[in-house]
Amino acid sequence: MLTVAIAGITMAVTEFIQIVTMAITGAPITAADTMVAGITAAAIIRVVVFMAVTMGTAIITHIIYQT
């Protein structure tokens, strides 16, 4: 799961840099570029939420059962 998160973040950063570079160089930013960036961002959010829920559940379970 962690490797997936790292891969996703790396991909998004690469994508972001690419779009920024395109904006600076004045290259036309196509709908596909923004779409890919959006998909990557959505994937990262999904992974982060999943990890947060998993960790939260683990912590709550731990608190309940440690007494």
What ranges do the domains of the chain cover?
Answer: 2-65
User: Six-digit token pair at 4?
Assistant: 């997936």
Q: Are 8 and 47 in contact (CB under 8 A)?
A: yes
Report, as an integer, the average pLDDT of 20-36: 78
Q: What angle do CA 17, 51, 9 make, to 5 degrees?
A: 10
Give the amino acid at 9: I
Task: State pTM to two decimals.
Answer: 0.45
The residue-averaged pLDDT of 24-29 equals 79
Q: Hey, is 67 helix, strand or coil?
A: coil
Residue 67 confidence class, pLDDT cut points 50, 70, 90:
low
Length of the chain: 67
Model confidence at 49, in pLDDT bands (50, 70, 90)?
A: confident
Which tokens belong to 18?
């690419």
